[in-house]
Chains A and B, each alone.
Chain A
Amino acid sequence: MAYSFPEEVLEHVFSFLHSDRDRNAVSLVCKSWYEIDRWSRRRVFIGNCYAISPRAVIRRFPEVRSIKIKGKPHFADFNLVPDGWGGYVFPWITAMASSYPWLEEIHLKRMVVTNACLELIAKSFKNFRVLVLSTCEGFSTDGLASIAANCRNLRELDLRDSEVDDLSGHWLSHFPDSYTSLVSLNISCLGSEVSFSALERLVSRCPNLRSLSLNRAVPIDRIACLLRQAPQLVELGTGAYNAELRPDVFSSLSGAFSCLKELRSLSGFWDAVPAYIPAVYSVCSGITSLNLSYTTMQNPDLTKLVSQCPNLQQLWVLDYIEDCGLEAVAASCKDLRELRVFPSDPYEEDEFDIALTERGLVSVSEGCTNLQSVLYFCRQMSNAALISIAQNRPNLTRFRLCIIEPRSPDYLTLQPLDAGFGAIVEHCKGLRRLSLSGLLTDRVFEYIGTHAKKLEMLSVAFAGESDLGLHLVLSGCESLRKLEIRDCPFGDKALLANAEKLETMRSLWMSSCSVSFGACKLLCRRMPRLNVEVIDETSEVAESRPESFTVQKLYIYRSVAGPRLDMPDYVLSMGEESPDLIG
Chain B
Amino acid sequence: MEVSRRTANLLGGGGGGRGLNLKETELCLGLPGGGGGSEVAPEAPKANGKRGYSETVDLKLNLHTKEPATLDLKDMPIKNGLKEKNLLASADSTKDPAKPPAKAQVVGWPPVRSYRKNMMSNKNNKDEGSTDQKTSTASAVAFVKVSMDGAPYLRKVDLKMYNSYDQLSDALGKMFSSFTMGNYGAQEMIDFMNESKLMDLLNSSEYVPTYEDKDGDWMLVGDVPWEMFVESCKRLRIMKGSEAIGLAPRAMEKCKSRS
Contacts and interface: CB of A to CB of B under 8 A. Distances in A.
Interface of A: 75, 77-80, 135, 161, 163, 166, 189, 191-193, 216-217, 219, 240, 242, 270-271, 273-274, 293-294, 296, 298, 342-347, 349-355, 377, 383, 387, 402, 404-409, 411-416, 418-419, 422-423, 426, 439, 441-443, 446-447, 449-451, 459, 461, 465-468, 471-472, 474-478, 480, 486-487, 493-494, 496-501, 504, 526
Interface residues on chain B, size class: 35 or more
A351 B99 CA distance: 12
A536 to B, nearest CB: 16
A486 B53 CA distance: 25
A555 to B, nearest CB: 15
Contacts of A419: 73, 76-77
- 3 tightest Cβ-Cβ pairs between the two chains A and B: A78-B108, A468-B27, A419-B76
Interface stretch (B133-141, B184-192, B214-222, B249-257): B133-141
Interface of B: 10, 20, 22, 25-27, 29, 43-48, 50, 52-53, 56-57, 59, 61, 63-64, 68, 71, 73, 76-80, 84-85, 88, 91, 95-96, 98-99, 103, 105-117, 119-120, 123, 131-136, 140-141, 143, 145, 147, 152-156, 158, 161
Q: Which of A219, A442, A480 has the most CB of B within 10 A?
A: A442
B38 to A, nearest CB: 8
Given A414-B80, A468-B27, A497 B50 contact: no
Contacts of A383: 76
B25 A443 contact: yes
A378 to B, nearest CB: 10
Given A402-B110, A471-B59, A387 B22 contact: no
A246 B133 CA distance: 23
30 contacts: A79-B107, A135-B113, A191-B132, A192-B134, A217-B134, A240-B135, A298-B155, A346-B112, A352-B147, A352-B154, A353-B145, A354-B152, A354-B153, A355-B153, A377-B112, A383-B76, A387-B76, A402-B111, A408-B99, A412-B85, A415-B10, A426-B71, A441-B20, A449-B44, A466-B27, A474-B47, A493-B27, A494-B27, A497-B57, A498-B47
Given A413-B78, A442-B22, A296 B158 contact: yes
A135 B113 CA distance: 10
Contacts of B145: 350, 353
A344 B25 contact: no
Given A296-B158, A415-B77, A349 B103 contact: yes
B47 A423 contact: no
A271 B78 CA distance: 44
Contacts of A494: 27
Contacts of A449: 44
Given A242-B140, A446-B63, A413 B108 contact: no
A526 B44 CA distance: 24
Given A347-B105, A442-B22, A493-B57, A414 B112 contact: no
A451 B69 CA distance: 9
Given A471-B27, A493-B29, A504 B48 contact: yes
Contacts of B61: 468, 471
A499 B52 contact: yes
Contacts, number: 186
A461 B73 CA distance: 24
Nearest to B134: A217
A412 B22 contact: no
A193 B75 CA distance: 59
Given A342-B116, A493-B59, A500-B48, A446 B64 contact: yes
A352 B152 contact: yes
Contacts of B112: 78, 342-343, 346, 377
Nearest to B158: A296
Given A135-B113, A296-B143, A471-B61, 12 more contacts: A77-B113, A161-B113, A296-B120, A296-B141, A350-B154, A406-B109, A407-B98, A413-B78, A414-B84, A415-B10, A449-B44, A465-B22
Given A191-B134, A419-B76, A500-B47, A405 B59 contact: no
B27 A467 contact: yes
Q: Which of B52, B84, B108, B132 has the most CB of A within 10 A?
A: B108
A189 to B, nearest CB: 7
Contacts of B161: 273-274
A412 to B, nearest CB: 6
A79 B153 contact: no
Contacts of A406: 106, 109
B20 A418 contact: yes
Contacts of B147: 352
A214 B60 CA distance: 58
A496 B59 CA distance: 11
